[in-house]
């Protein structure tokens, strides 16, 4: 029996997080602002304490330096948490990896395929911004300032009956799962995923594994060159 | 020739192949498709560069239908 396709616009997984506001440009700006305030909330008190200590007692310089170190390290730890979402996970056997990368290659264009081969990340242009999709998460560069939003999201093998075939997926398949979900409903994807970091791109870049940094640069550059694409 | 594939630990498995002119093959593909949806898989078809749609019935004319697992926040 043949039947026609009936597209579903909303990602069904979004129903599991029905209490979350659906992510859009305004929501991203709001979240970015909250993260900036949080960062300032960590940095300003430590920096102020360091200044005050030195002003009151110059001999307290070592303590003041420790305060400044805290002011620097805490945002760096958040950025590291963000970078962790795109770090490579375990590898499957060679043949499944090869087949999975082949399928992923069929889903993306030549440039994205080449970038994935070099960095392990797939660049995807969306309406909210430019995405870098990894095996267990994605980074969104949003807005004129290209603020980085790091989302942790996984393929949920427990969601299928008996789990057959849903064991340890090859890396290419994990990316393809996330990519298809992202393409089906970008806002739903960002709603389902857990935001682990939002902040300056430079801060995230420092915490990314070195081979992945060109992907972040390419994503930022693509915002400069791309034209608005209706979705 | 259209294909129904499932992304799994083997890279991917081809569950059905059909042409619109072969009703037996289409019927087998529809059965395989529904069985996987019953198990919890989600079916996707590409609808152009950067676009995909979830489908609940087998789009017979689509060259490639991909079954994926649900995602959740990590």
What is the average per-residue pLDDT within B45-51?
89
Phi-psi region for residue A12, left (φ > 0), alpha (ψ -120 to 50) or beta? Answer: alpha
pLDDT in tens, A155-164: 987 777 666 5
Phi, psi of A153 (to 5 degrees): -150, 140
DSSP line for A1-45: --B----B-S-GGGGGGTTSPPP-HHHHHHHHHHHHHHHHHHHHH
Band of pLDDT at residue A198, cut at 50, 70 and 90: very high
More confident position, B14 or A8 = B14
Distance CA B10, CA A133 (A): 21
More confident position, A21 or A7 = A21
Assess: ipTM above 0.85.
Answer: yes
pTM of the full structure: 0.89
Contacts of residue A72, Cβ cutoff 8 Å, sequence gap at least 6? none
Q: Is B69–A98 a contact, with Cβ atoms under 8 angstroms apart?
A: no
On chain A, the residues whose CB falls within 8 A of the CB of B53 are: 5, 7-8, 184
More confident position, A36 or A3 = A36
What is the average per-residue pLDDT within A118-139?
95
On chain A, the residues whose CB falls within 8 A of the CB of B74 are: 85, 136-137, 152-154, 193-194
CA distance A177 to chain B (A): 6
Using a CB–CB cutoff of 8 Å, tell me whether A110 touches chain B.
Answer: no
Q: What is the pLDDT of residue A6?
A: 47
- Please give the share of chain B, as a percent, with pLDDT higher than 70: 100
Token readout for B50 is: 């950067």
CA distance B1 to chain A (A): 15
Judge whether residue A131 has pLDDT over 70.
yes
Q: What is the pLDDT of residue A164?
A: 54
CA distance B18 to chain A (A): 11
Judge whether residue A225 has pLDDT over 80.
no
What is the average per-residue pLDDT within A189-198?
96
On chain A, the residues whose CB falls within 8 A of the CB of B45 are: 5
Judge whether residue A7 has pLDDT over 50.
no
Distances (CA, A) of A142 to A137, A199, A213, B8: 16, 10, 17, 32
Average pLDDT of chain B? Answer: 93
Distance CA A217, CA A170 (A): 26
Judge whether residue A11 has pLDDT over 50.
yes
What is the average per-residue pLDDT within A65-80?
95
Q: Is residue B20 packed enough to be buried (19+ CB in 10 Å), middle (13-18) or exposed (0-12)?
A: exposed
Phi, psi of A194 (to 5 degrees): -95, 125
pLDDT in tens, A24-33: 999 999 999 9
Q: What is the pLDDT of residue A166?
A: 56
Q: Give the residue on A whose Cα is nearest the Cα of B8.
A: A165
More confident position, A143 or A85 = A85
- Please give the share of chain A, as a percent, with pLDDT higher than 90: 77
More confident position, A208 or A165 = A208
């Amino acid at each position: 029996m043949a039947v026609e396709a009936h597209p579903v616009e909303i990602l069904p997984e979004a129903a599991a997080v029905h209490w979350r506001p659906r992510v859009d440009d305004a929501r991203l700006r709001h979240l970015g602002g909250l993260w900036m305030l949080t960062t300032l909330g960590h940095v300003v008190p430590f920096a102020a304490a360091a200044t005050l200590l030195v002003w009151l007692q110059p001999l307290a310089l070592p303590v003041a330096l420790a305060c400044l170190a805290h002011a620097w390290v805490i945002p760096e730890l958040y950025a590291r948490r963000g970078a962790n979402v795109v770090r490579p996970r375990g590898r499957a056997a060679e043949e499944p990896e090869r087949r999975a990368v082949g399928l992923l290659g069929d889903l993306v264009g030549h440039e994205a395929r080449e970038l994935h081969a070099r960095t392990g990340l797939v660049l995807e242009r969306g309406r909210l911004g430019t995405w870098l999709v990894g095996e267990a998460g994605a980074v969104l560069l949003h807005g004129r300032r290209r603020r980085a939003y790091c989302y942790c999201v996984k393929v949920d093998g427990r969601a299928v009956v008996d789990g057959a075939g849903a064991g340890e997926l090859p890396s290419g398949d994990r990316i393809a799962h996330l990519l298809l979900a992202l393409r089906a409903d970008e806002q739903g994807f960002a709603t389902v995923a857990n935001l682990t970091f939002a902040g300056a791109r430079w801060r995230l870049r420092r915490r990314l594994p070195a081979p992945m940094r060109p992907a972040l640069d390419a994503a930022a550059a693509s915002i400069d060159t791309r034209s608005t694409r209706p979705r | 020739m259209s294909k129904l594939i499932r992304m799994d630990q083997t890279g991917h498995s081809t569950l059905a192949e059909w042409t619109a002119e072969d009703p037996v093959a289409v019927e087998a593909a529809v059965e395989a498709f529904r069985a996987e949806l019953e198990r919890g898989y989600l079916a996707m078809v590409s609808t152009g560069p950067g676009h995909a749609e979830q489908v609940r019935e087998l789009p017979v004319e689509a060259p490639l239908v991909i079954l994926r697992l649900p995602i959740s926040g990590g």
